[in-house]
Structure 1
Amino acid sequence: MRIYIAKYGETLRNIAQRQNVALEELVPLNPQVASPDANLSGRQIKLPPPSASAGNRITDFKNEWIPLTPLTRMAQTDYDVLIVGSGAGGGAVLWRLCQQWGINGKKIGVVEAGDLLLPTHFYNIPTMSHPRAGRYFEKVSTPVDQTMFRELYAFGGRTLLWGLLAPRMPAFETADWPLPANELQFYYSIAERAMNVTPFYQKGSYFTSILLDRLHNYGFIDAIPFPVAVDQEATKYGQIHSNAAFSSIALFAEALNRRPFDLAVNSRAVEIITENKRVAGIRVMSADKKSHVLKAKTVVLAASTFQTPRLLLASGITGRAIGHYLTTHSLLGIAGYLDRKQFPEVLGNLGIVIPAREDRPFQLGIDGPPQGYNAYQQYQIEPLQEQLRIVPGAFGAVESQFENRVELDSAVRDEFGVPVIHVHFSYSKKDEEVIRQMKEGTLQLLSAVQAHPGEGGTFEVGPAVEAIHDSGTCRMGNDPDTSATDRYGQIHGISGLYVADNSVIPSSGTANPTLTTVALAIRTADYLIRQLK
């Protein structure tokens, strides 16, 4: 028998997780503990003796850098909130619930279809340069039905490899959304603090400051440095800030330090269970194809723009807008060159964004050197260049069209028995006009920063493609005919069933969507807290 002294805030449930002991073993050994979720700070807890082979099975636990819970154990729990997906939206909901609830006896569970992949954002891994990460993403992600979109099935989702740009949507782009403008701004401010968004990432960089001056003098007076989700706090007072680049794993880490929750990976949600127009739980398949029913008062879907409507439709939950209004951003880049002699020897990094306006339906951005604004990760030694190649780009607003959709193919099913999806997406005439304006605006930007064409005498214009900024397939709104959820992300007609990923964003706007997803997810979590008092 072993004796363990519980640390501050620990419960029998998270002691079981951290000591890799089944909760069912701990309960009879500690009859003095009234509840598995009671605060045990400073109390003596009896643990079973280690098994004979313990200490030699490193391979059994090498990936358990976060406590995991078997589905068999989760199937024995009645959850107050069950979250499907661990990306930006799922992580934000979990973080907010744990932050606001603390140790209160509520039970939270999370299921993730993918496995543990990276323990942090790739920028935080010294061996993972930007080009190498691009190749890595192509290997580990999955293309979506002959589109430019890609999905990443892994704990943390696409936040493991996102670009960290976190601008707010301009107010005119959210004017028709079903929430007050001041409320959205409030939740943007919470999301920015949670994600460590800073406008000072390029502070002191001559590259950024010189080109900002050129843009302002030319007339782009709204040009600003990139708002980037990077923790710039230095290590001090013995507190290490090594997890600089943000991913949802940072939210899971903070949540874990506040209260226990259950997490299962390699756990594919295949059916939403409802009773009398109210959610009752989900059915999950493990990697070995065993089925488990998890019970919950509230279910939050954060599986992705494609997988959330797929799960809803496969569960027989219908709504005219579910799966429809798929949108994204059109993306266009144009390459130009700057004379290196115009800049100091110590160049610095470049990161500038020009938000959209009502008369400019696209966001302009420019970064560099060639490796990108995150070029501090490039350790290659290169000779001083005579010309600096820059590739300004634009994200264009894409019209929300009912015909752009995700639909099930009931004739073809995946390995878990769920119908596969087909994605229908095309640009409207309005979108094509925006793309034309994007080209014109990007050429103006190149002129403003005094860039010139390459050897061919013309600027290199890239093709207009869909950015991996998919959204809209479960968008929020007041009208069930044109929206899948209400203003708080609850599916119309199903009490207790919520959506908190990119799919809930009502319209594309022009800003990178991750900050907006996190802000809306935190708002949904606050609503859940009020409902579950």
Structure 2
Amino acid sequence: MCRGFLRAVMPGNQTVYDALIVGSGASGGWVAKELTEQGMFVLMLEAGPPRLPTRDFTEHVRPYQVKFRGFGNRQALLERQPIQRLCYACDEFSHQFFVDDHENPYTFPLDKPFMWVRGRQVGGKTFCWARESYRYSDYEFKAASRDGYGEDWPLSYKDLEPYYDKVESLIGVSGSREALEQMPDGKFLPPMNLSCGGQLAREVIGNKFGWVVMPDRVANLTVVHGGRPACHYCDECQRGCYTASYFNSPSVTLPAAARTGRLTLVSDAVVSHVLMNAQGKAEGVYYVERTTHAHGEARAKIVVLAASALESTRILLNSRSSRFPGGIGNSSGQLGHYVMDHFTLEGAGGFLPQFKASKREPRGTPCGFLIPKYVNTGKYVNKNFLRGYRFDGDGSQELYEHAFGLAGFGSEWRSRVRTEIPYYFGMMVQGECLPRYDNYVTLDAEKKDAWGIPVLHIVASHGENEHAMAKAMRNDVMEILDAMKIEDPQPPSERLSVFGKNIHECGTARMGNDPKKSVVSSFCQLHDVKNVFVTDGAVFVTQGCYEPTLTIMAISARAGDYIVDQYRKGNL
């Protein structure tokens, strides 16, 4: 964990930094590292507090050691975190990594629910992310050229490839090389092992469908890397990691930036808007101290928003003036539009009777298996919808949970509980959400957060393409379960996941070459204000069906190089 570089910046401080970064997560950490290592003095503002492993990490805490035995204080969660508690990773052990919903409200139409999961702390959501790290390919970057829908990214895989290399080399990504055009290989550490169920799936699915079944590519270390020890397989990554064996920015990128002596990080600074001068350039940000509610201004020659996709756009929208009545970066009218989030079908699975045993499989691996996207790549074409989806799954044995369903009593019953541990095989499918103008965010006209800042009103729903894709997803899953000879097979859910539930929200400040159709350039620079950059998922043009975080980090590293180059040339 990074320590020793938290410095207070009091209201009235007149220091003008080379650059100011809002947000300390996956994106902000990479921009800070690139800028400071190349000589720039950087101020980073983070809305939340720092996290201390001895206080906040709970990966080795057992249920009997906590007050509510792992089930959590349901009343408190309902009162303070009614949205956050719906996230799979938010529970009695990890709720501290998620925001207080009453302090951080937002609104949405009753018929279009949106589940906005947020983590405000030094490190952002990198403490509790799922760590899946896949490169995008030109199937994503040039999707519009393939199928005619929407816009291409203003960059290609080749443009981003060296930055993928750089990111993977530092953070450590375990994975296998598969030579797939639609999911490029990278700089991998040895892969995690597949479970017994995963190995069976690789054999059966490979033989029947010809699809690759591979271990997830995850930012968990399988060997010592960069001074960090390998994963010890406790399988509680969402609770923090004492050994820093998975990537989070306070363990990797922020310490690298801090070692330069050119990073000043201020926690508990809730940024409201960007400050503009009479010439139409940014000169800093206005913020509110989280605990005291004192107001302050921070000054810099360059402003980088890396606060997460929707938060960065919220700051831009709130940076209104007579010169920028719709917020800065909004001359195109595109700001806030094209919000995306993956959708999933969950709950599919059943039992593999051949693996029922008296001994549990020695597991703890923080990942399962992946079947990469095949539909609408190569010969696998489905004309009922655009783009595609991928599969995730794994097999496991829970400790004695099956006892609730076993009839009997006494020693015979106890013997059956111990010797008949069932083996469950589960799957989910994740599909791409098309970017649509009518999926958007704007500022709520009335509601404000605990610091008096206007909140977002989010309007987003799944369209016809997602529903058509879901039909094919269900059919494929059931064919897989049938091929696997699953006992008591359960189909996936009929309903698509709630928008936002996957925590992969992207878009709303998309990049492009045409200022009339986009908000930022291929280097994440606002078309309208040249010394303001947005480097997080807000800039995504399309999303594909893979997790966005690795691409966010690669884009951030690339933007960092560009900022340094342009700053040295006097263009900012």
Q: What TM-score does the superposition give when structure 1 sets the normalisation length?
A: 0.78
Of 352, 358, 368, 2:369 maps to: 352
C-alpha spacing 1:182/1:521, structure 2 compared with 1 (3 Å): same
Contact kept? 2:353, 2:487, Cα under 8 Å: no
Q: Tell me, yes or no, if structure 1 residue 280 matches structure 2 residue 261.
A: no
The Cα shift of 1:254 comes to 2.4
Aligned to 2:302: 298
Partner SS state of residue 33, structure 2: helix
The Cα shift of 1:222 comes to 2.8
C-alpha spacing 1:516/1:131, structure 2 compared with 1 (3 Å): farther
C-alpha spacing 1:478/1:64, structure 2 compared with 1 (3 Å): closer
Contact kept? 1:170, 1:356, Cα under 8 Å: no
Partner SS state of residue 186, structure 1: helix
The Cα shift of 1:403 comes to 1.1
Q: Tell me, yes or no, if structure 1 residue 309 matches structure 2 residue 308.
A: no
Contact kept? 2:356, 2:421, Cα under 8 Å: no
Aligned to 2:60: 126
Of 88, 91, 105, 1:135 maps to: 91
List aligned pairs for 1:402-481, cutoff 5 A.
402-454=437-489, 458-459=490-491, 461=493, 463-465=495-497, 466=499, 467-481=502-516
Question: What is the CA–CA distance in structure 2 between the aligned matches of 1:449 and 1:186, rounded to whole Å?
Answer: 39
List aligned pairs for 1:194-209, cutoff 5 A.
194-199=170-175, 200-203=190-193, 205-209=195-199
Aligned to 2:344: 331
Question: What is the CA–CA distance in structure 2 between the aligned matches of 1:182 and 1:235, rounded to whole Å?
Answer: 26
C-alpha spacing 1:223/1:338, structure 2 compared with 1 (3 Å): same
The Cα shift of 1:452 comes to 3.2
The Cα shift of 1:239 comes to 7.3
Question: What is the CA–CA distance in structure 2 between the aligned matches of 1:240 and 1:74, rounded to whole Å?
Answer: 43
Q: Tell me, yes or no, if structure 1 residue 210 matches structure 2 residue 242.
A: no
The Cα shift of 1:476 comes to 1.0
Contact kept? 1:65, 1:119, Cα under 8 Å: no
Question: What is the CA–CA distance in structure 1 between the aligned matches of 2:192 and 2:356, rounded to whole Å?
Answer: 16
The Cα shift of 1:198 comes to 0.9
Post-superposition Cα deviations, 1:9-56, rounded to whole Å, max 9, x if no partner, equal xxxxxxxxxxxxxxxxxxxxxxxxxxxxxxxxxxxxxxxxxxxxxxxx
C-alpha spacing 1:459/1:417, structure 2 compared with 1 (3 Å): closer
Of 511, 517, 524, 1:482 maps to: 517
Question: What is the CA–CA distance in structure 2 between the aligned matches of 1:217 and 1:489, rounded to whole Å?
Answer: 44
Contact kept? 2:136, 2:157, Cα under 8 Å: no
Greater CA drift, 212-221 or 73-82 = 73-82
Contact kept? 2:356, 2:423, Cα under 8 Å: no
Question: What is the CA–CA distance in structure 1 between the aligned matches of 2:544 and 2:274, rounded to whole Å?
Answer: 31
Post-superposition Cα deviations, 1:106-163, rounded to whole Å, max 9, x if no partner, equal 3111001111235499888322799885314556335653512211111111111111
Of 359, 363, 368, 2:390 maps to: 363
Aligned to 2:33: 95
Aligned to 2:262: 260
Question: What is the CA–CA distance in structure 2 between the aligned matches of 1:428 and 1:74, rounded to whole Å?
Answer: 49
Partner SS state of residue 295, structure 1: strand
Greater CA drift, 123-132 or 206-215 = 123-132
Of 18, 21, 24, 1:86 maps to: 24
The Cα shift of 1:401 comes to 0.8
Of 214, 228, 242, 1:224 maps to: 214
Post-superposition Cα deviations, 1:446-465, rounded to whole Å, max 9, x if no partner, equal 234332335xxx53536321
Post-superposition Cα deviations, 1:291-320, rounded to whole Å, max 9, x if no partner, equal 222111111101122211111111111341
Contact kept? 2:201, 2:213, Cα under 8 Å: no
Contact kept? 1:119, 1:249, Cα under 8 Å: no
Question: What is the CA–CA distance in structure 1 between the aligned matches of 2:194 and 2:504, rounded to whole Å?
Answer: 30
Contact kept? 1:272, 1:283, Cα under 8 Å: yes
Q: Tell me, yes or no, if structure 1 residue 243 matches structure 2 residue 244.
A: yes
Post-superposition Cα deviations, 1:229-287, rounded to whole Å, max 9, x if no partner, equal 01222499x97562102112121122223433101111011120123232211112113
Q: Which amino acid aligns with 2:300?
A: A
Question: What is the CA–CA distance in structure 1 between the aligned matches of 2:440 and 2:95, rounded to whole Å?
Answer: 24
C-alpha spacing 1:447/1:522, structure 2 compared with 1 (3 Å): farther
Partner SS state of residue 229, structure 1: coil
Q: What TM-score does the superposition give when structure 2 sets the normalisation length?
A: 0.73
Contact kept? 2:507, 2:541, Cα under 8 Å: yes
Any stretches of 5+ residues in structure 1 without a counterpart? Answer: 1-62, 373-381
Of 149, 152, 162, 2:129 maps to: 162
Partner SS state of residue 327, structure 1: coil
Question: What is the CA–CA distance in structure 1 between the aligned matches of 2:505 and 2:270, rounded to whole Å?
Answer: 21
Contact kept? 1:84, 1:301, Cα under 8 Å: yes
Question: What is the CA–CA distance in structure 1 between the aligned matches of 2:548 and 2:198, rounded to whole Å?
Answer: 24
Contact kept? 2:434, 2:465, Cα under 8 Å: yes
Q: Tell me, yes or no, if structure 1 residue 510 matches structure 2 residue 545.
A: yes
Question: What is the CA–CA distance in structure 2 between the aligned matches of 1:527 and 1:121, rounded to whole Å?
Answer: 38
Greater CA drift, 68-77 or 327-336 = 68-77
Greater CA drift, 72-81 or 265-274 = 72-81
Aligned to 1:58: none
Partner SS state of residue 392, structure 1: strand
Partner SS state of residue 292, structure 1: strand
Q: Which amino acid aligns with 2:496?
A: A
The Cα shift of 1:433 comes to 0.9
Partner SS state of residue 368, structure 2: strand
C-alpha spacing 1:295/1:363, structure 2 compared with 1 (3 Å): same
Aligned to 1:31: none
List aligned pairs for 1:34-45, cutoff 5 A.
none
Partner SS state of residue 335, structure 1: strand
C-alpha spacing 1:186/1:74, structure 2 compared with 1 (3 Å): farther
Aligned to 2:158: 182
Greater CA drift, 331-340 or 221-230 = 331-340
Question: What is the CA–CA distance in structure 2 between the aligned matches of 1:64 and 1:89, rounded to whole Å?
Answer: 16
- Number of aligned residue pairs: 454
Aligned to 1:519: 554
Partner SS state of residue 553, structure 2: helix
Contact kept? 1:337, 1:387, Cα under 8 Å: no
Aligned to 1:55: none
List aligned pairs for 1:3-18, cutoff 5 A.
none
Q: Which structure is richer in relative contact order (CA contacts within 8 A, separation 6 or more)? A: 2
Question: What is the CA–CA distance in structure 1 between the aligned matches of 2:504 and 2:140, rounded to whole Å?
Answer: 16
Q: Which amino acid aligns with 2:506?
A: S
Contact kept? 1:120, 1:243, Cα under 8 Å: no
Question: What is the CA–CA distance in structure 2 between the aligned matches of 1:468 and 1:333, rounded to whole Å?
Answer: 15
Greater CA drift, 394-403 or 124-133 = 124-133
Post-superposition Cα deviations, 1:457-487, rounded to whole Å, max 9, x if no partner, equal x535363213211000111112233321111
The Cα shift of 1:186 comes to 2.2
Question: What is the CA–CA distance in structure 1 between the aligned matches of 2:483 and 2:48, rounded to whole Å?
Answer: 45
The Cα shift of 1:168 comes to 1.6
Structure 1 or 2: more strand by fraction: 1
C-alpha spacing 1:450/1:122, structure 2 compared with 1 (3 Å): farther
Q: Which amino acid aligns with 1:98?
A: T
